[in-house]
Amino acid sequence: MAIEAHKRGFYSLSNSQLEKHISQNPGSGDLDYAYLLSAANHVQMGEYEKGISKLIFLKDNYPDSLYLKDALSYLVLSYLKAGNYVMAVSAYVDYSGRFGPDEFTGRQVEDALFRQAVFLFNSGKAPESKTLLELFSEKFGKSRHISSVNYYMGLAYYGENDFQKAAGLLKKALRGRNSIVSQDILADIHLKLGDCLFNLKDYRGALDSYSNVLKDFPGSRYETWASFQMALIEKRRDNLPKSEALLSGIKEKAGPDLKFKIFSELANIKMLRGDWEAARNQLVEITKDFPDDPGIPEVFMQLGFVSFNMKNFTESISFFDTALKNASSPQVREKSYFGLGYAHYTGGDLSEGFRIWDKLFSEFPGSQFISEVLFLKGKKHYEKKEYAPAEAVLERFIRDYPSSSLYRNGVAMLAESLLAQMKVEKTIRVCEDFLSRSKDEFISFLYGKALYLSRDFGRSISVFSRMETRNPALLAESLYYLGRMHEYEGKIDKAQENYLEIITFYKKFPEWVKAAEEALKGIRR
């Protein structure tokens, strides 16, 4: 009855009869077939997990069954219907190990696994897709889908910025290009391979890949993107005329998303040339033509920097304000805070500039601009002879940013600020720390001066005597200090020689000439 019910599509009834048979005949020799038929009924009713459970029970408890091959084959298909692709592969591996490959079943597993991986990728679930693709590559390396699998795996790694791995997979995909029917996929393989090599700074290889797109897929959207990427390479090579020519050649046939990028790059080239007026006009045109593009806040930020370089600080402030109000990107906010503060700072509104930079510090405590801001704040305090606040800011700068290109200047201003406050011992420590790693005539001079003021004449004379400088201002002042120290030590002849050298050769420094003459008079008395 169970078999007859199954044939007529009465699957639930068939299972009822099978349950009776199994319970009433526990030692029957046909129970393995009963479990197989019961599993088939469950699958036909969409009860995949119940069907799978029966098939696993059959496999585990009837290892010598005549129906084991059918059960394992049906188990593979049941897992596929249940959407459990990993277990379907595992079941097929088990089947193949026992009975050898089966073309029909294997093809079904390959097709279903590949379709699901592509579906997940196109649904924005790249990590889940990559898991299935890697499983496919491991178990079905000779499949007709393998080149396409390598393509999608390459895209997944590309999305993770693993350009080395992505490039290797895309090259594998190209080696099996004959199995890829889609011209879009073939074009995209060349394009993405070029992008990988571009990011790996293999510009020659990238240009070869982009050239293949231009040669094999003329008139396609891929050709336009390849030309755009080639323009970026030429810009990185400082070949601005060629980059500009490539961009100008595609700007009319590009779609809106690419056209925005093209115009932005054309403006960037003008900025690199220092053609600020032309760059400004180009950027203003972008804000009018693409008002709703997500990249518009960055364009306003660039306008802020362009106006800054044109010394139009009022306009610069306005552009930076607009960028900050609309920015969703942390990078744009960070750069706009810096630029806005700098525009106020350079325009003369120091308090507002400092206030904005304090907001930068608060919102972006690890900002790339903090070192420069600290230096600029310290420099301004130093120039205004506000030595205590200059000391506080510059001390933080040299402590936290010893690798900055401005480090040496920061040390010099800190040492001078300390000397102005007669913090001699602290000046000595700052100079010694710097000079233990680098040579610098001005820092050496400040070190000698600090030693002189601390009355450590022996070391001060040694520092001034070894100083290798042609700076007449430093020479005049250091000669005066040498004279005073020689005079203190009773070496009158040497002191007179130092003072006379100032009077004779450094007449352009009247303050030291006058001090030397006064010292000579004191010696005569």
pLDDT (tens digit per residue) in 103-136? 999 999 999 999 999 999 999 999 999 999 999 9
Segment 274-285 shows an average pLDDT of 96
pLDDT for the residue numbered 202: 96
Q: What is the mean pLDDT of residues 180-196?
A: 95
Kindly report, residue by residue over 28-56, the tens digit of the pLDDT. Answer: 889 999 999 999 999 999 999 999 999 99
Contact 445, 478 (CB under 8 A): yes
Q: What are the start-end ranges of the H helices in 162-309?
A: 163-175, 183-199, 203-216, 221-236, 240-250, 256-272, 276-289, 296-309
Share of the chain above pLDDT 90, in %: 92
Residue 525 has pLDDT above 80, yes or no: no
Mean pLDDT (the chain, rounded):
94
Q: How far is CA 130 from CA 58, 411, 466, in A?
A: 33, 53, 67
CA 101 to chain CA centroid, Å, is 46
- CATH number for domain 1-101, candidates 1.10.3720.10, 1.25.40.10, 1.10.10.10, 1.10.357.10: 1.25.40.10
Biggest CA–CA distance in the chain, Å, is 138
Mean pLDDT of 231-248: 95
Q: What is the pLDDT of residues 408-419, one digit of tens each?
A: 999 999 999 999
Q: DSSP letters along 173-191, please?
A: HHHTGGG---HHHHHHHHH
Q: Is residue 219 predicted with pLDDT exceeding 90?
A: no
The sign one gets for the Cα dihedral 288, 291, 296, 300 is: positive
Q: Give the mean pLDDT of 445-455.
A: 97
Return the CATH number of the domain spanning residue range 369-466.
1.25.40.10
Question: Is the pLDDT assigned to residue 258 strictly greater than 80?
Answer: yes
